[in-house]
Structure 1
Amino acid sequence: MVRRFWCDAAACGRKIFAERFSDEVLPTFARRTSRLEQIVHHLGLALGGRPGAGLAQRLMLPVSRDTLLRVIRRRATTHSYSLSVIGIDDFAWRRNHRYGTLVCDLERRRIVALLPDREQATAQTWLKMNGSIRIRADLCDVDLTRRAAHRRRMEPIG
């Protein structure tokens, strides 16, 4: 529980002050502690949006499915190492409405990028920007016609 302090000075521009914590425990203006943020991130990675939100509610962590996906997106934005083996798959931002492309590092088992759509040009642009990739895994959960078309159009690497 965060303690709040009130200032009695008339010239003070701020009337209410909140207790500050170290950034390891609670980053400034954060709604969740670093530990809870990590738990929410792992729930989102393991279960996804709707199932993760259901389990979180049973664990008394009030997070929505959109929050789980936002936390995953926020943590998946940066990587400081060169990629050599990646996997590409599609996923649903919202089922039956909007789909995106998921790029993950298969050596480190981490999500590297979430591309905004499933278009071929978007994936090609991302692959050209990351030129150190040697091995690319095939798409996993798409229909056979789209997978075959994707194989024909992708440039060979290396």
Structure 2
Amino acid sequence: MDTPPDRWRNTVALNLDSAYLCMRAALPHLAEAPGAAIVNISSAAGVLGVKGGAAYASAKAGLQMLTRVAAAEWGPKDVRCNAIAVGSVATEGALRSWARFGATAESMGREVPLRRVGRPDDIAYGVLFLVSPMSAWITGQTLAIDGGPRIPAALDDDML
């Protein structure tokens, strides 16, 4: 909670306000296209929070709620709206960020059940699904593409 107010505003503007403004500008055009779909790119931080990242996590949580509200309001216009909560993905920026804390893609991957970090194409396939006819009856949802870190730890039989 030590985020300076100007950094807070910039982070929210980049991660929430920009999506709102784009969605608002796109609606008149999307309403004319049968089966139109919006996919907002959110983050696992918007679901779980992240220590030291109140502004980012709050903005991404807000984006997920904006997605749900837009789905409810725009559904009657045949416009679907969903989001993807992205986990740790090995982009150039993420690799640089992790390196500042002594982490690597390999060490980050050990923290998730699938034992690897995501690749950009993992996210792209989720977007393709959400804009395709295969998801024609899905709206207002946030799809987690994160390798599974939020699933409960498996219990051994002797723990039951």
* TM-score normalised by the chain length of structure 2: 0.27
Between structures 1 and 2, the one with greater strand share: 1
Between structures 1 and 2, the one with greater helix share: 2
**Larger relative contact order (CA 8 Å, sep ≥ 6):** 2
Q: Which has the larger radius of gyration?
A: 1
* TM-score normalised by the chain length of structure 1: 0.27
